[in-house]
Amino acid sequence: MSTIILGIESSCDDTSAAVIKDGFLLSNVVANQAVHESYGGVVPELASRAHQQNIVPVVHEALKRAGVSKEELSAVAFTRGPGLMGSLLVGVSFAKGFARSLGVPMIDVNHLVGHVLAHFIKAEGDENKHPSLPFLCLLVSGGNSQIILVKSHSQMEIIGQTIDDAAGEAIDKCSKVMGLGYPGGPIIDKLARQGNPEAFKFNKPHIQGYDYSFSGLKTSFLYSLKDWIKEDLNFIENNINDLAASLEKTVVDILMDKLKKAAKAYGIKDVAVAGGVSANTGLRNAFLDHAKRFGWNVFIPKFAYTTDNAAMIAMSGYLKYQDNDFATIDMPAYSRVSLK
């Protein structure tokens, strides 16, 4: 008999539902929330209200596109955390109620684990190659910058992480300083393609081990800009592409430097990247470059799996289903949590 999992994701500002059948993705529907754009960041109360409006139509659409009826579902997987509490509550409550009404098990998924396990999603017509265990995964998003040693689907160890800001957060803040829109990551990426990455130098951190720090870069960027603007009032406009390219290069260099050290120390050749910042062209190119130079087998997710999506939650749920690892109705959402 087939195993069909409905996955639900509502940790931040995307409402998403996906269906996975025997490990193969059948549908992945994402409703974005444009309402936050004019505020320059996600407004939690508005996010939960939008989830309330979106959750039923999004789940309905995911089932429809998958050609699956709700009675055929084997289990309902949901993001339990970390994330915004109000947003999580919508998905968690819906998933629990839906699973209960269908009489099927519910499966709680850690959002960060979901990003890592996105590498195991299979889809009809895709190459469907996935990393061999153990592998290293660089998880980089607006809230996280971590190097994770993935020993199995259920056993992961964070061997390095940011001690202050996340990489995406630093890029977004620097972009805000330059008066660009939100989120800054995709804008910086686009501008950087036209710029010279060697044009400007910004401070890089000196942190022991495999940990990261990005708050110094943010400060260095801000103070350098202030100095340059004293000389030329239109400095930002005149140098926007070079600024974006140099900022991107600095972030990518910082990320890859520690990842390279970790891969060497752990003797690992399978290296993956995940999270919103993995959409970045400079970072993707750096992965391809490291594959050539160091013989790494690199795993770069499809764009659809880089940002928040329910496909990765359904996949994680599918793997937990194989282990009979189910949630209970009394499990609350959690806003902050590490990998496990």
Considering only 27, 141, 239, 246, the residue that binds ligand KG4 (CB under 6 A) is: 141
Q: Supply the minimum distance, in Å, between the C-beta of residue 150 and ligand KG4.
A: 18
Is 142 a binding residue for ligand KG4 by CB under 6 A? The answer is yes
* Widest CA span in the chain: 71
Is 275 a binding residue for ligand KG4 by CB under 6 A? The answer is yes
Stretch that binds ligand KG4, among 32-40, 138-146, 212-220, 234-242 (CB under 6 A): 138-146
Q: Which is nearer to ligand KG4, 105 or 143 (CB)?
A: 143
Considering only 280, 310, 312, 320, the residue that binds ligand KG4 (CB under 6 A) is: 280
Interface with ligand KG4 (CB under 6 A), residue total 19
Is 277 a binding residue for ligand KG4 by CB under 6 A? The answer is yes
Contact between 72 and 4 (Cβ < 8 Å)? yes
State the CB neighbour count (10 A cutoff) for residue 106: 24
Question: Per-residue x/- mask for ligand KG4, residues 184 to 213, rule CB under 6 A?
Answer: xxx--x------------------------
Binding to ligand KG4 (CB under 6 A) within 148-187 occurs at 168, 171-172, 183-186
Q: Which is nearer to ligand KG4, 268 or 314 (CB)?
A: 314
With CA atoms as reference, report the closest residue to 117 among 135, 104, 99, 94: 135
Is 279 a binding residue for ligand KG4 by CB under 6 A? The answer is yes
Is 118 a binding residue for ligand KG4 by CB under 6 A? The answer is no
Q: Do the strands 14-21 and 24-32 form a parallel or antiparallel pair, or are they unpaired?
A: antiparallel
Is 113 a binding residue for ligand KG4 by CB under 6 A? The answer is no
Is 82 a binding residue for ligand KG4 by CB under 6 A? The answer is no
Considering only 33, 74, 307, 316, the residue that binds ligand KG4 (CB under 6 A) is: 307
Binding site for ligand KG4 (CB under 6 A): 12, 141-143, 168, 171-172, 183-186, 189, 275-277, 279-280, 307-308
